[in-house]
Amino acid sequence: MGRSRLTREETCTDEESLDAKSNHVGETASYINRHHLALFALFFALGGTSFAAGNALLPGNSVGTKQVINGSLRTNDLSKTARSALKGNRG
């Protein structure tokens, strides 16, 4: 079985691989350095939006899934709207 010869362009040494990785890290660092204020504003806006949505969607005295244990809620614990949504066979 013959071995195919690889040319210089087809081979990649560990040193060249490290150079390529460090170049990507340098490009990323350069991008962050140039756009740090805009990136901060973006993360701040997205964080504030998610915080506001969480507070607006959940009422103050709500019960989440962590507080509910299987079988702990009865039908009289539910609102009229929730009780009317319970249609069909049990189980």
Residue-level pLDDT at 24: 85
Residues 6+ away with beta carbon under 8 Å from 78:
86
For residues 75 and 81, give the distance between their C-alpha atoms in angstroms, rounded to a whole number.
Answer: 11
Look at 34-43, 52-61, 80-89 and tell me which has the smallest mean pLDDT.
52-61
Neighbours of 29 (CB within 10 A): 10
DSSP class of residue 75?
G
> Is pLDDT larger for residue 8 or for residue 27?
27
Break the chain into its structural domains and give their ranges. 12-58
Q: Residue 68 CA to chain centroid, in angstroms?
A: 25
Single-letter amino acid code for the residue at 6: L
> What DSSP designation does 72 have?
-
Out of 10-24, 48-62, 71-85, pick the least confident. Answer: 10-24
pLDDT at residue number 34? 93
